[in-house]
Amino acid sequence: MTLTLATIRPGEPEIFAAPQGEGPSAGLPCVFIRLSRCNLACWWCDTAYTWRFEGDNRPHRDETVFKRKAEQVVLEEEDAAARIAMFARNRLVITGGEPLLQGAALARMLAQLPDLHVEIETNGTVEPHASLDPFVDQYNVSPKLEHSGNPGDLALVPERLAAWAADPRAWFKFVVCDPADLAEVLGLQRRHAILARRIQLMPEGHDAATLRDRRAWLEPLCEEHGYKFTDRLHIHLYGDTRGT
């Protein structure tokens, strides 16, 4: 079996070491593996090269389409594990795309990396494969709000949100574009009994200036409702670039 990864450059899998830029582990040194393919299509997505291939007409803000052959690389699970182990870091972040689409193959990879703290970043719509779930220490669940452009019945699956809310390993990260988005977050919190201390709000933005502007009004909203503000540290450090 194999894993389909995104690439930093054609033929070079996107496996890299960097500080975690978002969520509960922000600032901690990690090794990342970015998988290709996604079942959703956020119009502001900054990793559209993982899903918006030629022939995919789902909308995106800049309408760029990517050549699948250049943007994907297939690795045996043993090869992926060996590349991750070379970085000698004890925290692994599996991201995408939507990594849970490749759950069984991920489980086989993680079986070869027993000493890592494993985080998975997910849009929250896919149930973890039964063989994968025992390897995961933390789920960073980012349900997509209406402004993402995804149909609600695809992006906000009630049974999945309820399951994540009941899982103590799950942290919720909502991407926010406008103060009005808070009403949707509050509604989801109420319907699915999500603890406020497990909710983080993150400004949408591909550049540091936009993030700073949105932080000015988003931090007070977090304080008001008992949420945590999370920035996008990697954008401030490196800009909107691959492998960071």
Residue type, 104: A
The alpha-carbon radius of gyration of the chain (Å, integer) is 17
Highest CATH level, class, for 2-174 = alpha beta
Sketch the domain layout of the chain as residue ranges.
2-174
Query: What pLDDT, on the 0 to 100 scale, is given for residue 153?
Result: 95
Average pLDDT, the chain: 97
- Which residues lie closer than 8 Å to 71 by C-beta, 6 or more apart? 6, 7, 10, 36, 49, 50, 53
pLDDT bracket for residue 63 (50, 70, 90): confident
What does the DSSP 8-state code read for residue 47? T
On the question of pLDDT at 57 being above 90, the answer is no
On the question of pLDDT at 181 being above 90, the answer is yes
Q: What is the pLDDT of residues 12-21, one digit of tens each?
A: 999 999 999 9
- Cis link prior to 103 (omega < 30° from 0)? no
pLDDT bracket for residue 237 (50, 70, 90): very high
Q: Average pLDDT, stretch 176-188?
A: 98
Phi/psi of residue 226, nearest 5 degrees: 75, 20
pTM reported for the whole predicted model: 0.97
CA dist., res. 196 & res. 242, Å (int): 32
